[in-house]
Amino acid sequence: MEASFLIFVSLFIAGIIIFRRRSGKKLPPGPSFLSSNLLLLTPSRSKLEPILKNLNSKYPPLFALSIGFRPFIFVGDRSLAHQLLIQKGAIFSDRPTTNIPQCNITSASYGPTWRLLRRNLATEVLHPARVKSYSWARNWVLRILIGRLQEAEVIKVVEHFQFAMFSLLVLMCFGEKLDERKINEIVNVQRRMLLIGGSGRFTVLTMFPKLGKMLFRNKWKEFQQLQENKERVLIPLIKSRMEATNSVSQLGNDRVVAYVDTLVNLRLPEEETTSGNGGRKLTEKEMVGMCSEFLTTGTDTTSTALQWIMANLVKHPDVQSKLYDEIVSIVGPPPWPPLSGEEPVSTIKEEDVQKMAYLKAVVLEGLRRHPPTHFVIPHRVTKEVEVEGHVIPEGATINFFVAEMGWDPKVWDDPMEFKPERFLMNDDIINGGFDVTGSKGIKMMPFGIGRRICPASDLALLHLEYFVANLIWFFRWNVVDSYGVDLSERIEFIVVMKNPLRAQITSRAKERSI
């Protein structure tokens, strides 16, 4: 730990004590001020999470950590989360301030800029018609994935899942089919930022936004270098796309509108000019932030969820068989071989995927049992509010236990078991009978809920259903003799599996032909 951090902690302890005495407000219960601040010494978020889980069991339904001048509130109760994020959503929809420069939807303050950026994504990229226009791209990426899986009988699939999803999001972002070398270059700069940032290395920069650059100069320089590396790779792609005629490229027989195209003419509303012509356009560096967010949020959470779902289907062959039987009853048996030369691959169509109720149940159960992240992105409280007899002050940071809410035994029988059938009992799942948005009540919240809910949740569900269906249709997934499927390892906070799934896959069609 840097010496400057120890000096700073010593200096502000006295100020904190005075601040708390003057406040006189009844914060939610929690550890002492000293114990709370010792959590800053926790080396990584993955080690911090069990500590928070233990505190959640000790201080239900919410507790507070007094770190620095700003309390950190944690909520582990479904009803309370619904009250705060749905009924009082406007108060709890902001983001904590930080000295790390970012331009993206995730970290934008709740206001006009956030609305503009989110609306642009929702209407220009995630509109059902636009999503449907990318069906050929999903087929193209699936072809790449299946080809890789055919190369060996015993494989480590994690990298293949991640590469497939990243290839798809890169195409949607920049509108081009890039070669493997270029895609891996983008993966490397994105992954390095995610791994180092997710380890908690830069937490102190956000914890002390006004003094972080001065007190933690080495960490700040390291962060700047990561940013520069990312800009070096992504800015040429943005420039190339912006130079394309009419911001539209022709790929095969399909016209593609890329995410970059939608960013070109945006004008930031809070910087409107007196002439009424609107504010300035996004800079290239700001567009890097937007594209980086698009790639990361669209790739890592989906590929992580896909890993967990496939791991459970290996662990539970009876579920896998039942899913395969449903698929075959709708689309018939798969082709053999899955890929042959340059001939187009015959895959399950997306309209057929929508008819598969058990498939949807498998995906939902995977998200319930293994949500890609165990917390939401932190929220900031914009107005002092009383909750459960306690005061949550303005400016407090608040977060929610996503995983624990999906494991509540009051809602789910045997919550730690993988049972897709639970989603078929009371809801018309084909017609959207199960609500993952939590608007009427929270049963699980893998995409968050309220005004800050993931805007791409429908796209994520489509990708998971499409890839799971085709992977189970083409291949039988079995445990390799010398390996098990250990589901006790929890997902790291940085959304990378510690123990990659290993599976032995053989073609179903080949088995039938013998």
> β-pairing, 70-75 with 397-400?
parallel
CA 386 from chain center: how many Å? 30
Q: What angle, 0 to 180 degrees and rounded to 10, lies between the N-to-C axes of helices 158-174 and 284-315? A: 150
454 is an annotated ligand-binding site residue: yes
Distance (Å, whole) CA 472 – CA 465: 11
Which two tokens mark 173?
């972002």
**Cα–Cα distance for residue pair 257/250, rounded to 1 Å:** 10
Structure tokens at 321: 């068989």
User: What 3 state SS string does 442-498 have?
Assistant: CCCCCCCCHHHCCCCHHHHHHHHHHHHHHHHHHEEEECCCCCCCCCCCCCCCCCCCC
- Residues 92-110 as b/e (b if ≥16 CB within 10 A, e otherwise) read bbbbbeeebeebbbbbbeb
Please name which of 58, 57, 37, 40 lies closest in space to residue 48, comparing C-alpha atoms: 40
Distance CA 141, CA 272 (A): 41
Whose tokens are 């000096």? That residue is 7
Q: How many residues does the chain have?
A: 514
Give the CA-trace dihedral at 357, 358, 360, 365, to 10 degrees: 140
Task: Please state the φ and ψ torsions of residue 11, each to the nearest 5 degrees.
Answer: -70, -35
- How many C-alpha atoms does 362 have within 13 Å on its Cβ side? 33
The DSSP 8-state label assigned to residue 400 in this structure reads E
Q: Which residues sit in the known binding site for heme? A: 454
Q: Which residues sit in the known binding site? A: 454
